[in-house]
Every structure is written in C-alpha cells, then in structure tokens.
Amino acid sequence: MTVDEKTAEKIDELSDEIRKWAEKYAGDNGWEVNNEEKQLNAVIRGLARNTLKFGEQYCPCRIRSGDREKDKEIICPCIYHKDEIENDGNCHCRFFFK
C-alpha cells in the first residue's frame, strides 16, 4: 500500500467516525446534520483531513491562526456554532442545522 493509499484509508476511517459523532451530537441537541449529502461529505472530509494533518478537528471553513491556544476556538464543534444555529439556522459550515 502506498503512502497516498494509507492516507486515503485513514481519511475514510476518520470520516466514518466523525459522521457517527456528528449525527449523535446533532441528535442530542435537537438539530440535524446537513441533508445535502455532497455538502455534508465535504465538511466531514475537511474535518478528517485537518484531524490527520494537525491532530485536531479544526473547522474546514475557518482560517487557523497558527496559535494553538487561539485555534481551540475553531475545533469542531467551535465556540460559535450554537449562536449561529440559533440565529442563522445553521453553523457557518452548514454542518449542523436547527
């Protein structure tokens, strides 16, 4: 297996875990995950890639500052998502919906 194949496999595995977590987390909060599978998958894979690359599930729709302490704010679920879901109906990434 090549390095690229191993990376792809790891991203698939992480994506499965993130999807399961997100569905439970959304359900526990009375929300839903995006019902557009293509958009949902893009966010999940972005989270999986960031987890693999940086060791944290950083939001794929926000810019990291590079300061680990500050960037804790944008580890999914970020500090903004509850207000965004409440006020806009969904989080910035369109991952979680009211």
- In the complex, the residues that contact ligand SF4 under the rule CB under 6 A are 43, 59, 61, 74, 76-78, 80-81, 91-93, 95-96
Least distance to ligand SF4 from the beta carbon of 56, Å?
11
CB-nearer residue toward ligand SF4: 6 or 65: 65
Report the distance separating Cα 85 and Cα 10, nearest Å.
30
Report the distance separating Cα 84 and Cα 2, nearest Å.
41
CB-nearer residue toward ligand SF4: 32 or 61: 61
CB-nearer residue toward ligand SF4: 48 or 59: 59
Q: What are phi and psi of 35, to 5 degrees?
A: -85, 0
Given a contact cutoff of 8 angstroms between Cβ atoms, the answer to whether 17 and 52 are in contact is no
